[in-house]
Amino acid sequence: MSIEFIGMIQTQKVSETHAAQGLAIDRDYVRAFAQAHEQAGFDRVLVPHHSTGPSATLTIAYAAAHTEKIHFMLAHRPGFTAPTLAARQIASLDQFSGGRLGVHFISGGSDDEQKRDGDYLSHDQRYERTDEKGHRERCHDEGDRALEDGCGHVVSECEGDERSQSRGHKGGEASSDQKRCR
């Protein structure tokens, strides 16, 4: 068993003891923060998703362009982007980063956090959606020709030009004993 050292980067200097100042994105801070993790020998960094914060996907794209070895873990919330588009974005970002991307499917935080992004599903419905969308995103990523998710959604001709270089570091997928399709 191996141990991975995972850090976290954000788009500006802010913490429980340091109030945010200035713009929500400080490019110099993101670059220095990512490079510090790389120089310290971290294996990967998580880039979180917040309903009130900048795009984690674009933050990773910027940080990856300024680093060479460190891997990134994208906190991805299914349901806000069409699954096939999300799969293409993830595969493209993985290629641009040189195969350094992992994806953590997040079913959501508190109900209030979700509502700020327009998501009014219950906790259980969010976990079911994560399971459904994750299957459709993997359909595109793995090059299957078609996939039916059991709820009447069929993604056909999933094959695309983008292919993920990374294999096997996708975490946080949730499933449910019951399947609701709404």
**CATH code for the domain in which residue 108 is found:** 3.20.20.30
Under 8 Å between Cβ of 131 and 180: no
Kindly report the pTM of this predicted structure.
0.73
- Which one has a higher pLDDT value, 57 or 111? 57
Question: Residue 140: pLDDT above 60?
Answer: no
Question: Residue 77: pLDDT above 80?
Answer: yes
Structural domain count of the chain: 1
40 within a domain of the structure (yes/no): yes
Proportion of the chain above pLDDT 70, given as a percent: 72
95 within a domain of the structure (yes/no): yes
178 within a domain of the structure (yes/no): no
177 within a domain of the structure (yes/no): no
81 within a domain of the structure (yes/no): yes
So what's the pLDDT on residue 52? 85
Q: Residue 20 sits in which domain range? A: 6-171
180 within a domain of the structure (yes/no): no
176 within a domain of the structure (yes/no): no
Long-range contacts, 48-52 (Cβ 8 Å, 24+): 48/8, 48/10, 48/75, 49/75, 49/76, 49/77, 49/106, 50/113, 51/113, 51/114, 51/116, 51/117, 52/116
13 within a domain of the structure (yes/no): yes
pLDDT in tens, 104-137: 888 877 888 888 888 888 888 888 887 765 555 5
